[in-house]
Amino acid sequence: MKLAYCDCFSGISGDMFLAALIDAGVSIDWLREQIACLDLDEAVDLRVETTQKGPLRASLVSVDVQESHHHRHWGDIEALIGNSRLEDAVKTTALNIFRVVAKAEGKVHGIPAEQVHFHEVGALDSIADIVGAAAGLRALGIERLYASPLPYGSGQVKTQHGLLPLPAPATLEILAAAHAPLVPSPAQAEMVTPTGAAIVAALATFQRPDIQLERIGVGAGRKEFPWPNVLRLWVGQSPSDADLPLVLLETNIDDMNPQFYGNLMAGLFKEGARDVFFTPIYMKKNRPATMVSVIARRSEEARLARILLEQTSTLGMRVQPIYRFEAEREFKQVETPYGPVPVKVKILDGRRIQAQPEYDVCLALAEAAGAAVADVYAAALSAGRDIL
């Protein structure tokens, strides 16, 4: 299992996290293409440069935007990402991060999350940071993200609402909801931004994992401190799946409207299910029925079981521990006559043995070119064989 650990000794922001991903191996050209999938009216571009923070080399990311200065409502963000050409997994991750911000902002201002108008986090640079973070984790094949305790500074920060105390109220609400461990810092500055807080709150477990280290990405912050202002992203493999056992939840249902199953599957995936599948079966009195099967980590068992109880007609379910053998994977991009296509590369014993194109991208390219999706897929498959 591919893991990443955020060593946040100098805090975290969206651009620091994005820079660390790029420093760890994510292609900036590929990230530009992912952001282009949002089909924004305004121009957005990413730049990366090598910089020095004290004695440490690091990558510094800049997001160049033609900002329209209009504030975005939660519904605007949801539609922007939901209607984009991004992969579904990237859409889900990005929306989960924004949802964390919406809930926190709603609580700070005493309004429902659906009525929140994003200010700083709704700006194009923050949208690029969050979508880039979701896409970058996908590109590295990260299945589990961890984070260290977060330092908090003191003083004030200038926002759209005027001067606010540090940590900023929305940041503090995000971290409180995630039960994030905090440690004091001598810095009179913002150490954790709302975007940085939302990324780790939505995606990370706050503990240090056992990890077989493979590489380190170093992302630079813009402030200068007496220490190197960087975020270190440790990337590697879990030495054993024993610390993350999987469970199989199963229930048989013969009395539920079949129209509800699609929404049920989407909800289970959104809440962390590793896999969801439905099997047609026959139950007592030869009634046609559906067996709902959910594979999940042990830590997510209770939350997913509650979803099954709340959103289906079942009265209970079977739960059993399971184990999986998994090949390593990585994401690459190949060029085809129809345009670039991301491919998922399977790695076994250190050797690349398969490269499968992303179907949704092939479909979008086929529709744009007026071609058969099978032809686009075949071209991507052929290009994928060249990187094996």
Decide which of 133 and 272 is more confident: 133
Is there a single domain that holds both residue 285 and residue 357? no
Give the pLDDT confidence of 260-308 residue by residue, as tens digits: 999 999 999 988 899 999 999 999 888 999 999 999 988 788 889 999 9
Measured CA to CA, the distance from residue 296 to residue 273 in angstroms comes to 5
Q: What is the pTM of this model?
A: 0.65
Mean pLDDT of 25-46: 91
In total, how many domains does the chain have? 3
Give the pLDDT confidence of 348-380 residue by residue, as tens digits: 877 889 999 999 999 999 999 999 999 999 999
Is there a single domain that holds both residue 218 and residue 365? no
Asked which of 270, 303, 322 is the last residue of a domain, the reply is 322
Decide which of 238 and 339 is more confident: 339
Is there a single domain that holds both residue 303 and residue 338? no
Asked if 221 contacts 13 with a C-beta cutoff of 8 angstroms, the reply is yes
Asked which of 237, 263, 294 is the last residue of a domain, the reply is 237
Give the pLDDT confidence of 317-355 residue by residue, as tens digits: 999 988 777 788 788 889 999 999 999 998 887 788 999
CATH number (domain holding residue 281) = 3.30.70.1380
Say yes or no to pLDDT of 68 above 70: no
Neighbours of 322 (CB within 10 A): 10
Is there a single domain that holds both residue 81 and residue 168? yes
| Residue whose C-alpha is closest to residue 108's, from 189, 53, 153, 171 | 171
Is there a single domain that holds both residue 49 and residue 173? yes
Is there a single domain that holds both residue 71 and residue 194? yes
Q: Which long-range contacts (CB under 8 A, 24 or more apart) does 79-88 make?
A: 80/38, 80/40, 80/127, 81/38, 81/131, 84/37, 84/38, 84/39, 85/37, 85/39, 85/361, 85/364, 86/34, 86/37, 86/38, 86/131, 86/135, 87/138, 87/342, 87/358, 87/360, 87/361, 88/360
Measured CA to CA, the distance from residue 118 to residue 212 in angstroms comes to 39
Tokens of 55: 């004695």
Asked if 295 contacts 304 with a C-beta cutoff of 8 angstroms, the reply is no
Is there a single domain that holds both residue 60 and residue 156? yes
Give the pLDDT confidence of 205-224 residue by residue, as tens digits: 999 998 989 999 999 999 99
Is there a single domain that holds both residue 16 and residue 36? yes
Domain that holds residue 334: 328-385
The enclosing H or E element of 253 equals: strand 246-253
Asked if 295 contacts 273 with a C-beta cutoff of 8 angstroms, the reply is yes
Is there a single domain that holds both residue 33 and residue 65? yes
Neighbours of 145 (CB within 10 A): 19
Measured CA to CA, the distance from residue 348 to residue 354 in angstroms comes to 9
Q: Which phi and psi (to 5°) does residue 324 adopt?
A: -130, 145
Give the pLDDT confidence of 138-187 residue by residue, as tens digits: 999 898 999 999 999 888 777 666 787 888 898 999 999 999 999 999 99
Is there a single domain that holds both residue 312 and residue 338? no
Is there a single domain that holds both residue 364 and residue 281? no
Asked which of 237, 270, 298 is the last residue of a domain, the reply is 237
Tokens of 373: 């999706």
Share of the chain above pLDDT 90, in %: 66
CATH number (domain holding residue 352) = 3.10.20.300
Is there a single domain that holds both residue 215 and residue 300? no
